[in-house]
């Protein structure tokens, strides 16, 4: 029986700051007179991730149930609340924005999971780059969050999409929310020998 592998993850709940400016006028005194002066005023709108530590803990539990046949479990090492300037000053993160955030929150001694309010990407609402050990998720409902997290963690474990509709759509790596959570033996073998496991994996204490 294969040994259980524990992979630590750091979760970053990211609130994005959207910067805007407006011009306001005010009256100022100049000696005995007054005149109108225009000022440029900066404002920052915050876009929260829409999930908290408790929701992420539940999503990790659900993902761990999915990876149980592979004897791989993800351990929440830290969950931090971050406030950063929105890449490209946009509320919705795209692929370029993901890479910018990945540089700010890299995988050092654990896989890095970024959570934002909106992400423009694949159908499942996330993206992952195995070489970086970083994935990103958008806010999702409780019914979907564990499976979506497991799907993106699957990519970090070197699992690719499966695409034969009607045959593979019960597989975790089918690229749709209609996917189920099954893993093939080949996928299990790939996950257990992935770079992520080699980099961060260890037997649980």
Rounded CA-CA distance 180/170 in Å is: 4
> Cβ(98)–Cβ(86) under 8 Å?
no
The count of structural domains within the chain is 1
Does 28 reside within a domain?
Answer: no
Does 31 reside within a domain?
Answer: no
Rounded CA-CA distance 102/99 in Å is: 5
Q: Quote the domain boundaries for residue 196.
A: 5-16+48-200
Does 93 reside within a domain?
Answer: yes
- pLDDT (tens, 9 = 90+) of the chain, 205 residues, equals 578 999 999 999 999 999 988 888 888 887 787 888 888 888 889 999 989 999 999 999 999 999 999 999 999 999 999 999 999 999 999 999 999 999 999 999 999 999 999 888 655 568 999 999 999 998 777 767 888 899 999 999 999 998 876 667 789 998 877 678 899 999 999 999 999 999 998 866 6
User: pTM for the complete prediction?
Assistant: 0.87
Contacts of 10 (CB under 8 A, 6+ apart): 77, 78, 79, 80, 105, 107, 110, 111, 112, 113
Q: How far is CA 35 from CA 32, 76, 144, 179, in A?
A: 10, 59, 58, 66
Does 22 reside within a domain?
Answer: no
């Amino acid at each position: 029986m294969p040994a259980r592998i524990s992979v630590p993850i750091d979760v970053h709940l990211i609130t994005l700051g959207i910067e805007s400016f407006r011009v306001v006028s005010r009256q100022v005194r100049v000696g005995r007179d007054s005149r109108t002066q225009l000022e440029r005023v900066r404002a920052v709108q915050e876009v929260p991730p829409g999930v908290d530590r408790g929701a992420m803990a539940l999503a990790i539990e659900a993902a761990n149930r999915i990876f149980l046949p592979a004897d791989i479990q993800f351990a929440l090492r830290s969950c931090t609340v971050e406030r950063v300037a929105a890449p490209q000053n946009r509320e919705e993160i795209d692929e370029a924005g993901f890479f910018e955030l990945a540089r700010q929150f890299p995988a050092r001694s654990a896989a890095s999971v970024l959570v934002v309010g909106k992400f423009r990407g694949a159908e499942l609402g996330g993206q992952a780059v195995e070489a970086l050990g970083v994935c990103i998720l958008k806010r999702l409902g409780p019914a979907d969050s564990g499976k979506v997290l497991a799907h993106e963690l699957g990519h970090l474990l070197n699992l690719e999409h499966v695409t034969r509709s009607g045959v593979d759509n019960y597989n975790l790596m089918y690229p749709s929310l209609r996917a189920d959570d099954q893993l093939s033996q080949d996928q299990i073998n790939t996950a257990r020998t992935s770079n992520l496991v080699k980099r961060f994996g260890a037997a649980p204490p």
